[in-house]
Structures are given as C-alpha cells and as structure tokens.
Amino acid sequence: MPSFRRKRLAAPALCMVLWLLCAPAAHAAVTGLLSDGSRTVELTPQLLYASGSTPAASVLSGAAAFTRGNPVKGGGPSTVWIRVPLAARKGASGPWVLSLPRTVTGGEAYVPEPAGYRTFLIGSAVPYNRHAESYMTIGLTLDRTSARTAKPVYLHVVYYADSPLWVRANTLRDRMWQTFLYRLIDGIFFGILVAIGLCNLYVAFAVGDRSAAWFVGYVGALIANELVTSGLGSAYIWPGTGFDPRWPSVVTELLAFGTFLGFTRAFLQTRTAAPKWDRLLIAAFVLVAVSEVARHAFPGGERFEALVLFIQFAAMIVTVCAGAVRVRAGYHPARFFVAAFVPALAGIMTHLAYNIFRPSGSSFLAENGVEFGAMAECVILSFSLLDRIRILDGERSKAEAELLRTAQRNLELKTLATRDALTGIDNRLAFFETFEDEIEYARRSGLLLGVLYIDLDDFKAVNDRYGHRVGDILLQIFSRRLKNAVRPGDTVARMGGDEFAVLVTGLSEPAVLDSVQANVVRILDSNIVVEGSLVTVGMSVGAAIFPRDGEEADALMEAADHRMYHAKQGGAEAPAARESTSTSSSEV
C-alpha cells in the first residue's frame, strides 16, 4: 500500500518538475516585430554594440560602427553602446515599453523622434524621481511615432558584464498589468511580514523569548532586503537618492542569514542540546556569507549565481537536518520548524532551475518563487514559535503546580513540626523559637517579657480512672480554655504530657503578668465534663519575668518551673522568690 501511494504521488511530482523546466519556454519572449499582442518581444538577438567610449554625437549621427558582438569582456561595471532596431507590425498602435535588467546601474536612453532624439536617464542607481517611467525601475516607453521613424533606439548604459544583458519589449498595457501583479505580490509579502514581525515583537517583549527576538530581526532583514532589491525603497522611501543596489542587497542578505542563524540556534537550542549540529550551522552560515560576498566582489561573480543558490540550498538542508535531529530527540516545536522549509526549498529550487536551464527566460513564478517561499516559511515559523511558547507555558504551569504542591507539603511538614498534634497549639519547638525572638525584641524595646509554666495536677489519675481517650479530650478542652484566657498576642504551647507554657509579651509592668496569671488560674473554676463524666483536675502555675529572673530562655524557664514546682508542693516560699506573685495553685 505505501508503494502504491508513492507511485500515485510520483506522477504529480514529475509533472510539476517538467512544468518548472518547461514553463520558461512557454513564457519565453518571441523574437520579431513590435505588436499589440500580450507576448513579450525579445529584442536581444537584434542588438548591435559599440564601445562605451564612443562620443554620443558620433553614435546619433550614424558615424559609429556597431557590431553584433558585445565588446565588453570583463566582469565588473562596464560601459557600452547598444543599438536597438525598431520595427512595428502593420496596424500596431502601441505604445510599448522597453525593459532592461537591474544590473544596468546607470546611463542614458536616446529615443527617436521625427526631429531628432529625446534623452532619458535609466538605471537602478538613478534616483527614482528622475526615472523616465514611474511604474518600473529600468525602462522607457515608446509610442507609435517613435517606432515608425525607422530610426533605432540608442542605449548608453553602465552595467555589470557578469550578468546577461537583454532588452525586451511589451505593450504598455501588458507591462502595467505585470507591474500591478509584481506590486500586488510585494504588497502581500510586506503585509504578511510586517504582521508576523509585529506579532512576534509582542511575543518577544511579553514572554521574553530570545528566539522570538531573533525571528523579529530575521523578518526585518527580509523586509529591508526586499525594499532594496525590488526597488520599492527607491520608489517610496528614498526616491531622491540613487545608489548601486548590489552591495546594499548583499548587506541585507547577510543580515538575514545571520539573524536566521541566531534564531535557529536559539529555537532548536543546538548550543547545548546538539553541539555538533550547532557547529555545522555556523560553518554553513560562514560558507553562505563568503560565497555571497565573493559573487559581488570578484569580476564575473554573477556568473556563479547558480552555484551560490546551490550553496544556500545546501545550508538549508543542514538546517532542516538539525531540526529533524531535535524532533527525533523529542523536541516537538521543531516539527513546525522543519515543515517551514518545504515552501522555502521549493522556491529556491524553482529559482535555481530557471537560473540553470533558462537564465534569460521570463516567468512570474521564477521571479517570485523565493518571495512565495519566504512568505510561507515565515508564517509556518510563527506557528512553530507559538507551539514552542505553548509547550513552554505548559511546562511552566506544571512547574508552578509542582512548586505549589511542594510549598503545601513544606507548610504541612512545618505545621507538623511546630504544632501539637493533639491540641493544635504550638509545641515545644515552636515555643522556644518564639521565645528567642521575643527576648530579642524585649532587649531592643526595653519592655518586659513574662512566661507562665503550667502543670495539671492529678492528670495521671484521670487517665487511670477514665482511660486515655478521656485524658486526651481533657487536654484539648484545657488548651482551648487556656488560649481564651490569655491576650490575643500571647503565645500558648504544650510542652509535653500535661505541661503547658504561656509567653506574655509587651509588658510595661509586672502587674500585667499577675493579671494574666489570675485569668489562667480561673479557667478551672467551671466544671469539665467529658463523655458524661465530671472530671476533676488541678493545676500549678509558676511565673518568671525577663530580665528580672534571667536574660536567656533556659534561665527563665528554669525559674518558672522552679516556682511551679514550689506551688505544687503547697505554696511554701520558693528559695528564689521575688517581689511579684510567682506561684499559684488551683483545683476543681
């Protein structure tokens, strides 16, 4: 079954390849007379050439010698005279448009008129507001009168001789339609890229994603390159400035390659996850940059445009392989990344095929294949960024949920470590932590700090008579009453067994501690009934004050415990008793 599917897909693929190779012939210009038809008239085979140093007066007077062979042999900027014979079909009304390649950077066009010649400036380096025509970068319009003068058009041009030099003619209507299509594609291209750039710029700032920032730089470089190479920048942004666009296009292309390299490394995380492929990506970028610079720097370099495109194609294959490796490693956002190269590779392959098989052909798809591929690539790469952010957001949510669970567990563990499991009040550990903090505060503020040490009398007898369940309930009831008897800011803790302690903080005088102690003693004035049984229990209380009875927690607890023990023995004066009430005993 898979083999059958492959056979079914092979036929359309073969047809597509044949169409790509044969389409130039279908769109190729016809050689002949100017007509009102929609087909392009190829005038290149009829061109005659003369040395660029020939004076204009000699050329226009007919004294200059023109030959079929182009005298220019170098690869750099060269000057040449071109004689373009004009002949229109009978009944053809025109007007027509002569167009030249963008490698023509400057020069003059001499258009025949009944009384002589009219001069126009042409060339990609001529300021746009001085062009002969506003709807194209390099060209001029011929009306029926010029075509019927039987005199040729003379072109004195500066161009790069390493690229094909051609002259073609279209009707003005056909040329305007082509210009509209090209501007429409350019408008769609810029609109999509600007929208994608702004969207990812927001993502870069809102999420702080480095790969999104690199992608915004890549989109900006593509926009800059298209402005330079398409002539839209000259038309709408710097119409009064003329310059050779070759080197600015190289700069913007290198900027696009460099930002895409940064995006690829940040998005695929090759520096840490695939260092071998990271080095290959950097090497591919260096090779592309060197080939692109060499193509423009050396004479005749434009003849190697197909080789440069092949190198760029190979670099894209390396990038796709790096993405595929990350997909196999389980990095799911790389799936969209790899898919984004399908239209980009198709566009480059189309452009490469035309440069190899039909270097002087004319096709709308050939001239815009790279733009179509770049548009689709940027759209899919945006999806890959959104997919990456979605996955990262999911991972972040999981991490936050795990942190929350960890914090809850830590809180539960801390509660278990600092709370008494039976009564719910502080345990011994928490009490002494609070005690140390309160001592430090009392030292700084100059206030007094009191501590009460409490022991339940005859509690063992309750356990023996009623059982441990009743004893536990008794402790719970007592702890609630004790907490209600003290002030809201005071600390109540169970020290273990039937022993409790109270920290009385912020005392201005010892009498406040006496008042709190009296409240504590009275909590057993009301009966305690547990499961229908009246439980009788007593309590002994000892008190100590910081700093009178000690300046450390252990010393204060020892003093309070000593006085509590003295109270339990019957209220005899404790050896270390001071001026304040320090012992009491109660029984119910």
Listing DSSP states for 36-96 in one string gives SSSSPEE-GGG-EEEETTS-HHHHHTT-S--BSS-----SSEEEEEEEE---B-TT----E
Q: Which long-range contacts (CB under 8 A, 24 or more apart) does 363-368 make?
A: 363/23, 363/24, 363/27, 364/27, 364/178, 364/181, 365/20, 365/23, 366/23, 366/24, 367/182, 368/182, 368/185
Tokens of 315: 């670099």
Tokens linked to 39: 């087909």
Which pair of tokens denotes residue 506? 């912020």
User: If we measure between CA atoms, which residue out of 120, 72, 126, 79 comes closest to residue 244?
Assistant: 126
pTM (predicted TM-score) = 0.58
pLDDT of residue 137: 56
As a three-state string, the secondary structure of 452-484 is: EEEEEECHHHHHHHHCHHHHHHHHHHHHHHHHH
Which pair of structure tokens corresponds to residue 240?
A: 């009064």
Q: Residue 282: what are its φ and ψ, rounded to 5°?
A: -65, -40
Instruction: Return the sign of the alpha-carbon dihedral for residues 551, 557, 558, 560.
Output: positive
pLDDT of residue 357: 58
Plot region of 550 (φ>0 → left; ψ -120 to 50 → alpha; else → beta): left
**pLDDT for position 74:** 64
Give the dihedral sign, CA 409/411/416/417: positive
Number of alpha carbons in the 13 Å side-chain half-sphere of residue 560: 28
Looking at this protein, which amino acid is placed at residue 318? V
Query: pLDDT per position in the chain (588 positions), as tens?
Result: 344 344 444 444 444 443 444 443 334 444 456 766 657 788 888 899 999 889 999 999 888 999 988 877 766 678 999 999 887 777 677 788 888 887 788 889 998 888 888 888 888 777 766 665 554 557 788 877 777 777 889 999 988 776 778 888 888 888 788 778 878 888 888 888 888 888 888 888 887 888 889 989 988 998 888 888 777 777 677 766 766 677 788 888 889 889 989 999 998 989 999 999 999 999 999 998 888 888 777 766 666 777 887 888 888 889 999 999 999 998 888 888 888 877 777 776 776 666 555 554 455 555 666 677 777 788 888 877 777 777 777 778 888 888 888 888 888 777 777 888 888 888 888 899 999 999 999 999 888 999 999 999 888 888 888 888 989 998 999 999 999 999 988 999 998 888 999 999 988 898 999 999 999 988 888 888 888 888 888 889 999 999 899 889 999 999 999 999 888 887 543 333 333 444 444 444
Tell which residue, 305, 175, 306, 193, has the closest CA to residue 246: 305
Work out the widest C-alpha separation in the chain, in whole angstroms. Answer: 144
